[in-house]
Structure 1
């Protein structure tokens, strides 16, 4: 048996799955694709998370697009974090190209242009279905993690939430939460101290400053109503295809705090609301986080710990999380260890540091008798990648240098007219794009403070009012001479003198 035949048998055995799967491309040996030696990923293990990595321009986004398309075709809803703004083309079929036809002939599968059901979401003022969440939904623990608070400050946040629960004060947006903290150390200081203990003014000041920092990144647009129901991420179109929800984040690249805040809240909400799925045949939802290093940029140790915990646990809810970034070292080791599918595009070795990073990256992949992984990582062409997945029993498949298939949809963004048409056809815009600002903690406490101030002014006015009675019924001080002249003793004396004079 020749080396090529042995390699083909090696690949076909390693990627022979009993259940349904997605074809990623064809395995390559010595720089040449072997038609029919298909590299696949089973639907059953797609909730084990994954990584798509590689240098700029090597094909990461196209690999993401291929996975999203094929998941949608299998009836699996997808959510994409689009930080570069180049994924909206999924809503239109690809125009085709001779090079694409040539690529697919090398892989051994036909190319068929298709469009897919797309919903455009927005976290900021960009057009799209608005995503929001209330402060109450975050809860004291998650909010404290995001703000990177100390243990004492976390306690104050917990007390603030407890006070709002006890007094039926809705915590909807950040101005509500700031108002409660200000009230705790201001007009309501005595009330808080008697019921919950003394609240430190210095600690609440620190918390308020961190909230303002979050607001400066645009968080006031995210916190509020109407809250987005994560069940709307799991919709199917009339043809049974999974809806691809694309979250436009092109204006948030320089605001990593807001991005990580949103991501953590989304994962936490999905984990708390999705039912346990167990060992299902396919995932309930798959999330792709492009430019994933932004989640971890400037993240505190507490926040990283929270993300790691949720990534570990959320797969039991049938949810797969896929990180897309330039280098696997962008992802913390604790998170990287949880990722089952790895699609590694080319890395470039321009410096000694780059070469060291490539060596570390190669160690993350199974040893192969057919590849020198270090060398392959730097010699892969555009649209080629090293691939390993988990088989249906959770075991890593053989490492395969893969010629990736091309996306069936457009590999470019929508025009303004196409995007406008897509937004007008949205089934969710009417549900979420109306701003709701109902009475909440801010307004209720404002009214309470106003009543207290009015009562205090009334009491002060009483204390300033004279106590002597005037002719109109009030009290006033009498002149001493008038008091003498009008007294009964004085009148009787005057009358007595007059009587004596008259008798004489």
Structure 2
């Protein structure tokens, strides 16, 4: 048996299954594309998570598009972040051309232009349906990542959440967070929390407040509030096809901590709200995290621990997660070890750091009898990748350098007019279009502070009245005890007694005059 025949037999044995699959492409050997050596990913293994990695311009985005298309066709909903805003074309059928026909022919397939059901979302509300979450849903750990707080400041943020929870103060938006912060640092609550929670210094409170204001000034404070996004809206189907939910972050891509953390909050909510599902024939949802390195950059340990926990446990809820980044080393080892499906595009080794990264990546692949892994990883073309996945028994497949299928939909964004029309016609867009301002911590604390101010004002008035009465009484007493008052008093007494006895004395004298003979 020739090397080629051995290779085809090995690939077919490793990737063949009678269960539903995602067809990725055909394997390459010595530069030849072998159509019958089909590389498949079992649909039921998609919730074992995966990694799509490779250098800039190697075709990672189109690989994500192919995966999303086939998942949708299989009835599996998909969530994807659209970093550059160029994935909306999935909603429209692609246009055939000579290059696509040649690629399809080499793979032994037929190019079939097709569009897929798409919902467009936005964090700013300018590029699709507004995605929001309440402050409480985010929690202190994720907010600390967004605000880039240190450990001390993160601890203060945790105090705010603990107090709000204990006092049943719903924190919905940034105004609520600012109000609670002010109430506990400089307001009436400062003395209240000292014993049970600890004091909050004005400098720490000021730093957190500046971070909040900065986020508001960037125009993305609208992501916090009501109506909060209902996570079940990601698990929808149209005509039996899974809906592809695209979060367009092209207008906030300069705020990586914001959008990467928001996507993690969606995952955390999925984990919290979805019931246990066990092993399914196909996942309930597949979640693609593009530019995954931004999620882990400068992340505190508590944040990384939360990611690891979600990735480890969410599989049992029927959700698969695929991280997309440039190098496998961008993902922490604790997370990388849980990614069973690997699609590695070309790696560049232009620097010593690149060479070290290449060596580390090679060590993560199973041994191959047909490839020198380090060589194949640096010689792959655009739209090609080195693949190993888990077969339906959970065993890693044979490593295969693969010529990937082209997408069936438009490889690029919709024209602006089509995009705007697509957004306006969406029921989901109308559902989240108008914000809601419920009674929350801001209003509740404002009422409490106003009531307390009224009580204090009334008490001060009563004190002032008592003081005034005392002052008036004191003035009267002082006046009576003054020398002038005493002199006036004596004169008054003399006048009174003179009036009473003076005339009587005169008449007596007259009577007495007769007695003594005068």
Are 2:471 and 1:498 equivalent residues in the alignment?
Answer: no
Q: Deviations over 1:391-420 (max 9, x none)?
A: 011111111111111100001111111001
> What secondary structure does 2:194 align onto?
helix
- The range that moved more, 441-450 or 405-414, is 441-450
The whole-number CA distance in structure 2 between the counterparts of 1:233 and 1:362 is 36
The whole-number CA distance in structure 1 between the counterparts of 2:407 and 2:469 is 93
- The range that moved more, 476-485 or 161-170, is 476-485
Q: Deviations over 1:410-456 (max 9, x none)?
A: 01111111001110111111211211122211222123223323333
**Correspondence list, 1:159-174, <5 A:** 159-174=159-174
Do the aligned residues in 1 keep the contact of 2:123 with 2:220 (CA within 8 Å)? no
* Equivalent position of 1:244 in the other structure: 244
**Correspondence list, 1:57-456, <5 A:** 57-140=57-140, 142-143=142-143, 156-186=156-186, 187-193=188-194, 196-201=196-201, 204-205=205-206, 207-208=208-209, 211=212, 220-237=221-238, 239-456=239-456
- The range that moved more, 457-466 or 361-370, is 457-466
Do the aligned residues in 2 keep the contact of 1:160 with 1:181 (CA within 8 Å)? yes
The whole-number CA distance in structure 2 between the counterparts of 1:49 and 1:39 is 17
Which structure's CA Rg is the greater one? 2
TM-score scaled to structure 2, two decimals? 0.88
The whole-number CA distance in structure 2 between the counterparts of 1:7 and 1:83 is 38
TM-score scaled to structure 1, two decimals? 0.91
- The range that moved more, 454-463 or 74-83, is 454-463
**Any unmatched runs of 5+ in structure 2?**
507-518
**How many residues are paired up?**
498
Q: Deviations over 1:129-182 (max 9, x none)?
A: 111111222334554566676777666544433432343321112331232232
Give the deviation of 1:367 after TM superposition.
Answer: 1.5
Q: Describe the shift of the 1:458–1:82 C-alpha distance in structure 2 as closer, same or farther (beyond 3 A).
A: same
The whole-number CA distance in structure 2 between the counterparts of 1:211 and 1:305 is 25
Give the deviation of 1:226 after TM superposition.
Answer: 1.1
Give the deviation of 1:359 after TM superposition.
Answer: 2.5
> What secondary structure does 1:35 align onto?
strand
* Equivalent position of 2:512 in the other structure: none
The whole-number CA distance in structure 2 between the counterparts of 1:283 and 1:83 is 24
Do the aligned residues in 2 keep the contact of 1:257 with 1:299 (CA within 8 Å)? no
> What secondary structure does 1:221 align onto?
helix
Do the aligned residues in 2 keep the contact of 1:26 with 1:35 (CA within 8 Å)? yes
* Equivalent position of 2:21 in the other structure: 21
Give the deviation of 1:214 after TM superposition.
Answer: 5.6
Q: Describe the shift of the 1:349–1:159 C-alpha distance in structure 2 as closer, same or farther (beyond 3 A).
A: closer
> What secondary structure does 1:262 align onto?
helix
Do the aligned residues in 2 keep the contact of 1:268 with 1:310 (CA within 8 Å)? yes
Do the aligned residues in 1 keep the contact of 2:145 with 2:257 (CA within 8 Å)? no
The whole-number CA distance in structure 2 between the counterparts of 1:278 and 1:468 is 79
Q: Identify, as 1 or 2, the structure richer in helix.
A: 2
The whole-number CA distance in structure 1 between the counterparts of 2:316 and 2:141 is 22
> What secondary structure does 2:171 align onto?
coil
Q: Describe the shift of the 1:145–1:469 C-alpha distance in structure 2 as closer, same or farther (beyond 3 A).
A: closer
> What secondary structure does 2:40 align onto?
strand
The whole-number CA distance in structure 2 between the counterparts of 1:463 and 1:483 is 30
The whole-number CA distance in structure 1 between the counterparts of 2:53 and 2:150 is 35
- The range that moved more, 46-55 or 63-72, is 46-55
The whole-number CA distance in structure 1 between the counterparts of 2:294 and 2:469 is 74
Do the aligned residues in 1 keep the contact of 2:141 with 2:302 (CA within 8 Å)? no
